[in-house]
Structure 1
Amino acid sequence: MSDNQYSFFADVAKSFDKAAKFTKWDLGVLAQIKACNAVYRMRFPVKKDDGSIEVIEAYRVQHSHHKAPCKGGIRFAAEVNQDEVMALAALMTFKCAIVNVPFGGGKGGIKINPRNYSAYELEKITRRYTSELIKKNFIGPGTDVPAPDYGTGEREMAWILDTYTTMRPGEIDAAGCVTGKPVSQGGVRGRREATGLGVFFGLREVCNIPDVMEKLGLPVGVEGKRVIIQGLGNVGYHSAKFFQNAGAKITALAEYEGSIHNEEGLDIDAVFNHRKATGSILNFPGARNLEKNTDALELDCDILIPAALENVINGENAPRVKAKIIGEAANGPLTPEADEVFAKKGVLVVPDMYLNAGGVTVSYFEWLKNLSHVRYGRMEKRFNENMNSHIVDQMESLSGKKMTTKDREYIVHGADEVDLVYSGLEETMVTATHEIMNEWKNNPTIPDMRTAAYVVAINKVATSYAELGIFP
C-alpha cells in the first residue's frame, strides 16, 4: 500500500495502540490481539444473464479465535477491499468483547455494486461465495457465522442458509450458520431495527449520565435534543425513528443525493415516503436543501449521528463540526485525526465499536434461538399472562376498583419474542455504557471514550487468551 493511500485497518491499529498504553498486557499478547488470524481472498466466475462470464472478487476475514465462532457481516459494495474487511473484522472482535457477546470478530465482503446485478445474478454470486466458504471451513454455527451488512439483507442470508443446508445435509444446528435471516427461516423478531435501536439505547444512556451532560452544557435526557443523521438506510432510519419517538427533534438529514434542514424538526416517516416517491430527500416540503450532502454534518446540533460509510469526518472538516455529541452509528465514520480535534474541543465521541453493536447483539440472540430450536417466549408467555391476570384480579377484588382495559392489557401482557429481544438489547447497551464510562472515570489520563472502549475490549480479549492458556 502506497504512503498516500488511506488504510482503514491502519486507523483501527492506531486507535488500538493508543489504548494499549493504558493496559498492563505484554507486548506479544497485544500484537496477537491486533493481528488478523486468517484472511481468505477468493476469485470465482459467475455467468451473467446476458451469457457473459464475470470473475468476482470476494473476502472473508477471521480476526480473532479467542472465542468461537467468529461473527461478522457480509457487505456487497464496489469499494470492498482486503484492508477494509480486515479493519471491520478487527472492530467486530472489540465490539463483541465490549457488549459481552462470546464471539471472535469476522467480516466478509464481495466487490460488486448490487444495483448492477439482477436478483438471479445476486443469488448465484451469494450461493457460490457460500460454497467457497464451506470448502475452506470458513462458515458454520461453531466456526464462523455471517450476517447482513451494507448491501445485503434477509434475502441474501436465506440464500446462504439454503446453500449451507444443501451442502451439509442433516446438520441439526445448521440454521445457526448465519444470522439476520427471515423470521420464517429461523430469524429473530427485532433483528431489522436492532442496530438503530442499539444506537438509541447507547446514546440515551450517555444522555442520562448527569456529570457527562453537565460537562457538555446540556440538560439530562434525550427529549428536546436536536439530532442530525447522515444516512437514511436501515440504521439511520431506525435511529432517527427511535429518537423522534423519545421526543428528540430531527433537524437535518443527509443522503448521497444531498441534505435537508429544518430547525423545527423533520418527520422521519414523511421524509422516507417522500424519498420513496421522488427518489430523493431533496425538495421535502418545509425543509431547505443544502448544497452538499456533507453540509449537514457542519450544522449546529446537540447530537450528530453519521450512519453511512467510513471516513466521512476527518482532520479537514472536523473543526467545522458543531455537534456536542457524535454517535458513530456507521463503522469508522471518524478518522483518528478527527478524534484528536474533538478531544481538544471537548466534543464527546460515542464510538462505533460499541454504539452500533445492536446488530451483533441481536444476532447473538438469533444464534442462541437456532441452537435451542425454540422461539423466545414460547415456554413462558402464557404462564406469565395467566399469573399476571390472577394478580390483577386479586388487586381489583381487594381494592374494590376496576382497572381500565388499557392498563389491564399492559400489566397482563406476557413478553413476546420482540419484547425479550428489545429488553436484552437495552440491558446489553446500558451495561456496556457504564463499563466504558467507569473505565474512563477510573483512569482520567485516558483521553476519550473511544480509547476507554478499546481498553475495556483489550482487557477482555487478553483475559480470555490468558484463561485459555495460550500465553504463559
Structure 2
Amino acid sequence: MSSIPTTNFFNDVCSFFDHASQFTNHSAGLLDQIKTCNSVYRFRFPIRKGNGVQVIDAWRVEHSHHMSPTKGGIRYSDMVNEDEVMALAALMTYKCAIVNVPFGGAKGGIKINTKNYSVAELENITRRYTVELVKKNFIGPAIDVPAPDYGSGEREMSWIADTYNTMNPGQLDAMGCVTGKPIALHGIHGRREATGRGVALAIRECMNVTEDMKRLGLTPGLINKRVIVQGLGNVGYHTAKYLAELGAIIVGLCEYEGAVYNENGLDLEAVVAHRKEAGTILSFPGAQKEFINSAEGLEQECDILVPAALENQILITNIGRIKAKIIAEAANGPTTPEAAHLFVKNEGIIIPDMYCNAGGVTVSYFEWLKNLSHVAFGRMDKRYEENANSNLVSMVEKMTGMNLTLEQRGLIVKGPSELELVNSGLEETMVRSYHEIREIKMGNKNINDLRTAAFVGAINKVAVSYMNMGIWP
C-alpha cells in the first residue's frame, strides 16, 4: 500500500468542509469554530528499550467540545504525525454527528512501529501514554474516551483502562474511560467486528436504492456484485466476510505486500490461512492474477472497491484506472478531494468514510453506555421476554389446535442476547443515517455527492449544539 506522506490530510478534510459549508446558512465565525481543532496536545516521554532509553512522540487532539465526552481511537504507527491526528479527530466529530452519537471528535497517535517492540515495551508505552493523558485531563468517561485504531486493539485498551482505574481509585465509572476493551474487562459483544459490519451494511443500503443503481447500470442488491477489498486487518477482513454472507463475490484482496485477484471469486478464509502460513497473500493457489505492486490490485475489474487500509490510497494519478462504480471508504481519508471530484463527475458513487466506517464508534457508544449503567444489554429483560413469548405461543396453540415443533417454538420464544441487540442497534443506525444523507443530497440539486451531503448534515447538527450554548444567535 502507498506510503505517501499525509501532511495535507487535515487540509483535505477542511477542503471537503469548505465545499459543503456553502450549502448551509451559518455565519463564518460559527463555521470556523466547527472546523477548528479545539485542543492539540503534543508530548514526548522516555521509555527503557534494551539497555538504553528511547523518547516517544505522541499526540491527543480534541477537535470539538460541542458535546462531551470527546471520542476517538489511538493510532500506533511510525507514520503518525500531528496533521494526521488533527484530520482524524475532525472526521470523528462529523462521523459522530452523522450517526447521531452524542460525542465530540478526538484522536490519538503514538509514533512507533509496533513490530519493533516487545509486548512488555508496548505495555510500558501504552501505560505511560495514559498517565500523560491523565495528568493533562485528556482522558475520562466524561472527558475524552479513546478506542482502538490502526495498530492497537483490545489488549492496549485493557492497559489503558487499568492504568486509568489505578490513578482514579474509587471512581465508579472508571471503566468507561475507554472502549474496545475485552469482554472480560467490561467490553461489549460485537465491538471487534462492528466497523466491518457497518461498512457492509452501508454498502447494502446504497446497493438497495433502485434509482441509483439504474443510473450506474447495476441491478439492485449485493447478490453477485464483484468486490475488491484493500486491507486484511480487522476492518477489511470483517467487511469482506459480511459482504460475502450478503451475496457479494470477493474478487480481489490487496495488502501491503501485494494483491491477488480471481474474477470468479476468492475464498476469504483460505486467503487469510495462506497469508498466516506463508507470511504473504502472494502465491495463493486460488488466484488467477497477482500483483507485487498492491496499487495495481485496486485497478482490476469490479463493481465495488473497498479501501480499508490507510489514507491517500486513491489519488488523482490512479483514479482514472479505477474500474469500480462504487467506492466504499472503510478507511479514513482513502480518497483525495481531487480524485473524489473526478470519480463523482464520471458518475461514480463514493460512500464517504465518515459515514461508511461509523460502525465502530456506534458500538463504542453502546459499550460506553453499558459501562455507565453497569449492566449488560439484555440481562434485565431477556428471560422476561422469553417467558412472555412462551405464554403467548402456548395460548395461540391452545386456541388454534396447532402444535409448533421445538425448533419453531425456540425461534419465536427466544429473547435477544447482547450481541443481537448490539447488531440490531448498529443496523438501525447505518440504515437510518444513509437515508438521512441521501435525502439531503436529493433535496438540493447543487449537491451531487454523498460526502458533501454528509458534511452538510454534520455541520448543521454541530451548529445546533453550539447555538444551544448561547454563544451564537
Q: Shorter-chain TM-score category?
A: over 0.9
The one-letter code of the counterpart of 1:434 is: H
Q: 1:335-414, aligned counterparts within 5 Å? A: 335-414=336-415
Amino acid at match of 1:335: T
Hey, what does 1:245 align to over in structure 2? Answer: 245
Letter of the 1:180 partner, please give it: G
Which amino acid counterpart does residue 86 of structure 1 have in structure 2? Answer: M
Aligned counterpart, 2:79:
79
2:7–2:84: 8 Å Cα contact kept in structure 1?
A: no
> What corresponds to 1:329 in structure 2?
330
**CA–CA separation in structure 1 for the residues paired with 2:213 and 2:405:** 38
**How far off its partner does 1:394 sit?**
2.5
Q: Give, in whole Å, the separation in 1 of the partners of 2:122 and 2:462.
A: 36
Structure 2 stretches lacking a partner, 5+ long: none
Separation of aligned partners in 2, 1:300 and 1:253: 12
Partner of 2:234: 234
Pair 5,203 (structure 1): closer, same or farther in 2 beyond 3 Å: closer
Q: CA-to-partner distance for each residue in 1:153-208, whole Å, 9 max, x for gaps?
A: 00000000010011110000001100000111110000000000000111111111
Rounded to whole Å, the distance in 1 between the matches of 2:264 and 2:84 is: 38
Contact persistence 2:257–2:292 (CA under 8 A): no
* Offset at residue 6 of structure 1 (A): 4.0
CA RMSD across the alignment: 1.1
Alpha-carbon distance between aligned partners in 2 of 1:217 and 1:396, rounded to the nearest angstrom: 49
TM score, norm. by length of structure 2: 0.97
Equivalent AA in structure 2 for residue 70 of structure 1: T
Q: Provide Cα deviations, 1:68-98, integer angstroms capped at 9, x if missing partner.
A: 0000000100000000000000000000000
**What's 1:101 paired with?**
101
Letter in 2 for 1:226: R
User: Matched residue of 1:120: which SS?
Assistant: helix
Q: What CA distance in whole angstroms lies between the structure 1 residues aligned with 2:292 and 2:387?
A: 58
Q: Displacement of 1:5 after TM fit?
A: 7.7
Number of equivalences: 468
Task: Find the aligned partners of 2:117 and 2:376 in 1 and give their Cα distance.
Answer: 35
Q: CA deviation at 1:224?
A: 1.1
Which deviates the most, 16-25 or 275-284? 275-284
Please give the alpha-carbon distance, in whole angstroms, between the structure 1 residues aligned to 2:412 and 2:328. 34
Over residues 196-251 of structure 1, what are the superposed CA-to-partner deviations in whole Å (9 max), with x where a residue is unaligned? 00001111111111111111111111111111100000000000000111111000
- Residue 223 of structure 2 corresponds to 223
**Which residues in structure 2 correspond to 1:117-128 (within 5 Å)?**
117-128=117-128
Moved more, 462-471 or 345-354: 462-471
In structure 2, the residue corresponding to 1:323 is in which secondary structure?
Answer: coil
* Cα distance between partner residues in 1 of 2:139 and 2:268: 38
Name the structure 2 match of 1:281. Answer: 281
Pair 1:174 & 2:174 matched? yes
The answer to whether 1:441 aligns with 2:445 is no
**2:363 maps to amino acid:** V
SS of residue paired to 1:211: helix
Distance 1:432 1:255 in 2: 30
**Helix, strand or coil for the counterpart of 1:298?**
coil
Q: Which amino acid aligns with 1:34?
A: K
Could you tell me which residue of structure 1 aligns to residue 151 of structure 2?
151
* Structure 1 match to 2:160: 160
- Code of the aligned partner of 2:156: E
1:388 is displaced (CA, Å) by 1.5
Percent identity of paired positions between Structure 1 and Structure 2: 61
> How far apart in 1 are the matches of 2:346 and 2:130?
46
The answer (yes or no) to whether the contact 2:7–2:83 under 8 Å persists in 1 is no
User: For 2:41, what is the secondary structure of its paired residue?
Assistant: strand
Whole-Å separation in 2 of the counterparts to 1:435 and 1:246: 23
What's the secondary structure of 1:25's corresponding residue? coil
Separation in structure 2 between the aligned mates of residue 331 and residue 393 of structure 1, nearest angstrom: 51
Q: How far, CA to CA, are the matches of 1:259 and 1:463 in structure 2?
A: 45
* Matches of 2:408 and 2:297, distance apart in 1: 42
Query: d(CA) in 2 for partners of 1:408 and 1:268?
Result: 35
Residue 270 in structure 1 maps to residue 270 in structure 2: yes
* Partner Cα distance (2:6, 2:304) in 1: 31
What amino acid is the match of 1:150? Y
- CA distance in structure 1 between the partners assigned to 2:439 and 2:374 by the alignment: 37
Find the aligned partners of 1:297 and 1:5 in 2 and give their Cα distance: 20
Greater Cα offset, 390-399 or 452-461 = 390-399
Equivalent residue for 1:28? 29
SS at match of 2:241: helix
Counterparts of 2:6 and 2:390, CA distance in 1: 64
**Inter-partner Cα distance in structure 2 for 1:222 and 1:390:** 39
Q: Secondary structure at the match of 1:61?
A: strand
For 1:459 and 1:212, locate their aligned partners in 2 and report how far apart those are by CA, in whole Å.
Answer: 25
2:269 and 2:286 map into 1 onto residues whose CA distance is 14
In 2, distance between residues paired with 1:399 and 1:114? Answer: 64
- Please state how far the C-alpha of 1:294 moved relative to its aligned partner: 1.0
SS at match of 2:61: strand
* Matched AA of 1:196: G
Q: Shift of the alpha carbon at 1:283?
A: 1.4
1:308 CA displacement: 0.3
Q: Is the 8 A contact 2:258 2:281 kept in 1?
A: yes
Deviation at 1:293, TM superposition (A): 0.8
Q: Within 1, Cα distance between the matches of 2:438 and 2:449?
A: 10
